[in-house]
Homo-oligomer: A and B are copies of this chain.
């Protein structure tokens, strides 16, 4: 029987309650760590949105101000940049510093927490880079043999 790959909370302060062994699959409603699992998924969804990772990546090695970020991230709209930055600030992944000057100047910097997330995401990115050819090949092969997927 193959190994079961599980997530166990390694670091941080001792868990004050449940076993704290969460596998990525969710359980039936009512299972003990369903809540923990949902929480993990909610955090993982940070990765899902279009801009968070890009922004964190840009702040990798230096503080940037709003306008610099706006230019750095290429396709992002002002609205989404603001919203995403607020989320990331709320989660404690970056800090927002307002300089009371005129014109106003706001600096964004990655926190320690944000840095560790970036490390983890980079690891996943390595997987993507390592397998992108394989995946593209798979897709081409699939598209060639299986005609239309969700045809308009």
**Shortest beta-carbon distance from A64 to chain B in Å:** 11
Within 8 A of B (CB), among A81-130: 83, 86, 89-92, 113, 116-130
**Shortest beta-carbon distance from A11 to chain B in Å:** 5
User: Is A80 in contact with chain B by the CB < 8 A criterion?
Assistant: no
- Contact (Cβ within 8 A) B126 A123: no
- Counting chain A residues whose Cβ lies within 8 A of the other chain, the interface size class is 35 or more
Distance, CA A122 to CA B137, complexed state (A) = 25
**Which residues of chain B are within 8 angstroms of A47 by Cβ–Cβ distance?**
44, 47-48, 124
- Contact (Cβ within 8 A) A122 B54: no
**Which residues of chain B are within 8 angstroms of A86 by Cβ–Cβ distance?**
149-150
**Which residues of chain B are within 8 angstroms of A127 by Cβ–Cβ distance?**
116-117, 120
User: Is A60 in contact with chain B by the CB < 8 A criterion?
Assistant: yes
- Contact (Cβ within 8 A) B113 A43: no
**Shortest beta-carbon distance from A9 to chain B in Å:** 4
- Contact (Cβ within 8 A) B43 A128: yes
- Contact (Cβ within 8 A) A124 B122: no
Within 8 A of B (CB), among A44-73: 44-45, 47-50, 53-54, 56-58, 60-61, 72-73
5 pairs across A/B with beta carbons < 8 Å? A7-B126, A12-B134, A13-B133, A29-B74, A120-B126
